[in-house]
């Protein structure tokens, strides 16, 4: 696990995620997951989707391993659990839907990702749905190097550089956050970006059948210029 998660992730990511976007994402997830049973937010972080989905339905559970983020999540939703994503603290076939957003599953090596998917499938009911969001690799390949430097609302300075390696499919990132009190939080990590056929193959291997692939929460088709690769799959009986 990279040093990204914890205080650095919470302080550097939360200010960039607007409530309006979160509400739109929640509406998309609610529609695509359906309402045949409870759903699990896999890697719920500080609970932004738990709160937004909770306004639409009452059967959402969040799980994460970061205690700091879960303190905030618990204030947003009554049902949050601290747990290992590789050994979820739930019985088999507990949920109708499972979702993982914001590249949550893709900061791990491929073999670890396979184990994560298997665990997600274990807690899914037959016929249940898994939805995962990955950044669109095609768009990243077109612009393999990027840099970000911005002062956040609390006065912190966020600096980040990234370089995409086509051979490995990894975007290599260096994130540095300088806090107003002078403390510096920094981590080097990667995010793995998949082509649709690659991701579909992983889902098939995990016991899932691909249902759809979208380029964004407008449910439009995946294109080279799409920001996202959002896939929905169904657990085979």
**Domain-wise residue ranges, the chain:** 7-135+195-235, 139-191
Please tell me the number of Cα atoms within 13 Å of 227 on its side-chain side.
6
CATH topology identical between 7-135+195-235 and 139-191: no
pLDDT at 165: 98
Q: Which residues of the chain have pLDDT under 70?
A: 1-3
Query: Quick one: CA dihedral 220, 223, 172, 154, positive or negative?
Result: negative
DSSP state letter for 202: H
Buried b (16+ CB within 10 A) or exposed e, 153-173: eeebebebebebeeeebbbeb
Interacting residues of 168 by C-beta distance below 8 A, sequence separation 6+: none
Q: Distance (Å, rounded) from C-alpha 213 to C-alpha 52? A: 23
Report residue 161: phi and psi, to 5°.
Answer: -125, 150
pLDDT at 76: 85
Q: Distance (Å, rounded) from C-alpha 10 to C-alpha 65? A: 13
- Here the tokens at position 64 are 């994460």
pLDDT at 6: 85
Going by C-alpha positions, the residue among 95, 86, 94, 46 that lies closest to residue 70 is 46
**3-state DSSP: the chain helix, strand, coil percent, rounded to 5?**
30, 35, 35
Q: Distance (Å, rounded) from C-alpha 182 to C-alpha 188? A: 20
Q: Distance (Å, rounded) from C-alpha 147 to C-alpha 159? A: 8
**Domain 139-191 is of which CATH architecture?**
Single Sheet (2.20)
- Point out which residues pair with 234 in neighbouring strands: 129, 209
Please tell me the number of Cα atoms within 13 Å of 201 on its side-chain side.
6
pTM of the entire structure? 0.94
Task: Decide if 69 contacts 43 (C-beta within 8 A).
Answer: no
- Here the tokens at position 202 are 């992983």
CATH number, domain 7-135+195-235, options 3.40.50.720, 3.10.20.600, 3.40.50.150, 3.30.1490.190: 3.40.50.150
Q: Is 70 helix (H, G, I), strand (E, B) or coil?
A: helix
Taking phi over 0 as left and psi of -120 to 50 as alpha, with beta for the rest, 128 belongs to beta
Task: Decide if 231 contacts 196 (C-beta within 8 A).
Answer: yes
Q: Is 144 helix (H, G, I), strand (E, B) or coil?
A: coil
Angle at which helix 110-122 crosses helix 196-205, to 10 degrees, equals: 50
């Amino acid at each position: 696990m990279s040093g990204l998660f914890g205080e650095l992730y919470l302080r550097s990511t939360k200010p960039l995620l607007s409530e309006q976007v979160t509400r739109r994402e929640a509406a998309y997830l609610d529609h695509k997951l359906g309402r045949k049973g409870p759903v699990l937010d896999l890697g719920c972080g500080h609970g932004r989707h738990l709160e937004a989905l909770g306004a639409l339905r009452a059967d959402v559970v969040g799980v994460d391993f970061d205690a700091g983020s879960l303190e905030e999540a618990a204030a947003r939703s009554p049902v949050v659990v601290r747990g290992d994503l590789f050994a979820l603290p739930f019985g088999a076939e507990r949920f109708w839907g499972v979702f993982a957003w914001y590249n949550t599953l893709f900061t791990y090596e491929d073999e670890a990702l396979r184990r994560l998917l298997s665990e997600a499938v274990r807690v899914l009911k037959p016929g249940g749905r898994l939805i995962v969001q990955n950044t669109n690799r095609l768009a990243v390949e077109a612009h393999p190097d990027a840099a970000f430097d911005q002062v956040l609302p609390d006065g912190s300075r966020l600096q980040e550089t990234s370089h995409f390696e086509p051979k490995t499919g990894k975007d290599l990132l260096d994130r540095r956050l300088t806090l107003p009190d002078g403390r510096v939080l920094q981590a080097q990590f990667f995010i793995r970006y998949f082509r649709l056929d690659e991701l579909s193959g992983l889902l098939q291997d995990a016991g899932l059948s691909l249902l759809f692939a979208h380029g964004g929460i407008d449910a439009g088709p995946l294109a080279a210029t799409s920001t996202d690769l959002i896939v929905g799959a169904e657990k085979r009986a």
